[in-house]
Amino acid sequence: MRQLCFILSLLSLFGAASGDAVAQNRPQARVPQPETRAALAERANASTVTVISGTVSGTFIQIANDMSFVLDEGDRLRILPVILKGAEQNLYDVLLLRGIDIGIVRSDGLEALRQDKRLPGADKDVAYIARLFTDEAHLIAGPDITDIRQLADKRVNFDLQGSGANYTGRLIFERLGIPVEATNYDQPTSYEMLKRGELAATFQMSGKPIPAVANLPADSNFHLVSVPYESRIADLYLPARFSREDYPSLVGADNGVETVAVSSILAVYNWPEKTDRYAKVARFVDAFFSKLAFDRFLKARGQDGVSPEQREKLFQDFVDWQRRQGR
């Protein structure tokens, strides 16, 4: 009996030792290492697309801000809006600044590039992604100005240097053959100067209705002056119109005020294929048009009123379906 117990003890010890040996030889599960700071930075920069917009109160920054929420895909795509002066400067920044991927610009800005002798052929370095909306020319004056030609040789404000209003306004007046004394004050300052008679008119370029313009009091005696759509500007601009519904205090009860409009577009440097910058912008383009197609898809199905949570789930299903179709 003692021999049996001894043998069982040996077998037990052998089994334990054998199990320890097997455990030592078994491959150990790899513990995931925390991502290094350099790797985090690399991934964050690879997925972030900078979109240069405009001033705090303008339409461009609102559009860029909307895109930053709607197109966000976490680690795969992040939109970083950049606040700057506006359309004219944006086009140069898309071409020249290293950190800018996409810019909201105006279609007439290409004319500036064609005329800029410092950048021969630069207009061919700009790629066009999509047209976003149109901005109308707002020419605001006191009661003594009833025709744009009456502004000849008078002081007219064109917003800040580098803004779309500055470039577009000066170009329109130049093409129409109306010489003016141009100034570059911000719009709130220009309204005060207009009240004091220090300016004859102020020019603004933005989508109607502009809140600051719509809120001008009726007793200010300001009104919108027509900007005629003529052959001299027809290659760059579209005909447009303001109604009393747009600006009750600035437009009379007649047929409204005729003006011109310009297209605002998403522009990008024309990067060569198979480069990192090209791939980054390509991800943006895919997300941008997928969201547009998704909105139309929801409207067609009568589901455009769904909750944000339902919308996100439907969009992920839509993206998955698109990818399967692509494969």
Is residue 145 one of the residues assigned to a domain? yes
- More confidently predicted of 281 and 301: 281
When pLDDT is averaged across residues 142-155 and rounded to a whole number, the result is: 96
Domain count, the chain: 1
In a domain, 322, yes or no: no
Least confident residue range of 148-157, 181-190, 238-247, 314-323: 314-323
* Cβ atoms of residues 200 and 145 within 8 Å: yes
Q: Quick: pLDDT tens for 265-299.
A: 999 999 998 898 899 899 898 888 887 776 666 66
Q: Is 304 part of any domain?
A: no
How does pLDDT run across 149-208, given as a tens digit for each residue?
Answer: 999 999 999 998 878 899 999 999 999 999 999 999 999 999 999 999 999 999 999 888
Answer yes or no: is 309 within a domain.
Answer: no
Greater pLDDT, 302 or 70: 70
Owning domain of residue 191 = 41-269
Q: What's 61's domain CATH number?
A: 3.40.190.10
Q: Residue 289 domain-assigned?
A: no
Locate 128 and state its tokens: 């066009």
292 torsion bin: left (phi>0), alpha (psi -120 to 50), beta (else) = alpha
In a domain, 194, yes or no: yes
Mean pLDDT over 47-62 rounds to: 83
Phi, psi of 113 (to 5 degrees): -65, -40
Task: Say if residue 36's pLDDT is above 80.
Answer: yes
DSSP string, 68-134: HHHS--TTS-EEEEE--S-HHHHHHHHHH-TT--EEEEETTHHHHHHH-TTSTTGGGGEEEEEEEEE
What is the gyration radius of the CA atoms in the chain, in angstroms? Answer: 31
- The answer to whether residue 210 is domain-embedded is yes
CB 230 within 8 A of CB 176: yes
